[in-house]
Amino acid sequence: MDSIISMKNVCKKFKDKTAIKNMTFDIKEGEIFGFLGPSGAGKTTTIKILTAQLIATSGQVKVLGKDIHIPSKEVFKEIGVLSDNSALYERLTVQDNLLFYAEINGVNKKNSDEILEQVGLLESKKKEVKKLSKGMKQRLNLARAVLNKPRLLFLDEPTSSLDPSTMVEIHKLLRKLNKEGTTIFLTTHNMEEADKLCNRVAFLNEGEIVEIGKPSDIKLKYRTEEIKVILKNNPQNVIIKNDEEGGAQINAWMKKGQLLSIHSMEPNLEQIFLRLTGREL
């Protein structure tokens, strides 16, 4: 199979509102792919189309090589979904939440302790969910999504509103799952998260992909031809052009022993998004 996900010219309309406009992209098996955009850009709608919770108005959607609009048990057995409205049973324990979920979804329960161990909740398995912190609840949601050891995992804002240390824990877990063979499609507002975690990202604005590629390639593509220089006895950064004249200037500062450091002015993903769309995330 070439692509694990393939969208071709997909549109999604809600009455007169077009949420997704002519969207085309492919994801290869083994990737961690980030879908980035501000609120209302169409991220959740895309995940819902890819997981057959919504039907596209037009275009072709293939997941694991199959048309997602034709129901197939095989495909659903191989995908996991963590959505923004994943609900847990507050009065059940961690373990019972997982077992109940496995029961109603026909998923093998044998993995439950192993998965709880992976998300760091094994010691809390007898705790009622209402007594868990937000981060622990999110880890349990993730445990539920990966209980079937999916080949393809969809995560809608997996770390939004989590504290930085829980975010790091979730990232570790996602990298581990990815190493073990799970392809991950995630949405986020957080450009730093995407930069650290994803092999490739797509920038989404008003239902359209405006840029797609490896974070490092995107940053290189939009780099500015300027260099930031820090000089002795000068508290301010000096910005010079990355050209012959700038080179001669740097040379002169070096000869006089004035040069403390040189930095390329590579923009971050957030700045590039702003430049492309005029919108902040």
Ligand X SMILES: Nc1ncnc2c1ncn2[C@@H]1O[C@H](COP(=O)(O)OP(=O)(O)OP(=O)(O)O)[C@@H](O)[C@H]1O
Question: Where do contacts with ligand X occur on this chain (CB under 6 A)?
Answer: 14, 17, 19, 37, 39-45
Q: Which is nearer to ligand X, 42 or 215 (CB)?
A: 42
Q: Which is nearer to ligand X, 124 or 141 (CB)?
A: 141
Strand partners for 60: 8
Strand partners for 128: 93
* Shortest CB 194 distance to ligand X, Å: 14
Quote the CA–CA distance of 277 and 206 in Å, as a whole number.
Answer: 9
* Shortest CB 268 distance to ligand X, Å: 20
Q: Which is nearer to ligand X, 39 or 165 (CB)?
A: 39
Task: Give the gyration radius of the chain's Cα atoms.
Answer: 23
* Shortest CB 200 distance to ligand X, Å: 18
* Shortest CB 159 distance to ligand X, Å: 13
The answer for 221, left when phi > 0, alpha when psi is -120 to 50, beta otherwise, is: alpha
Q: Which is nearer to ligand X, 191 or 229 (CB)?
A: 191
Three-state SS at 88: coil
- Listed in sequence order, the DSSP H helices in 110-260 are 112-118, 134-146, 164-179, 191-197, 215-221, 244-255
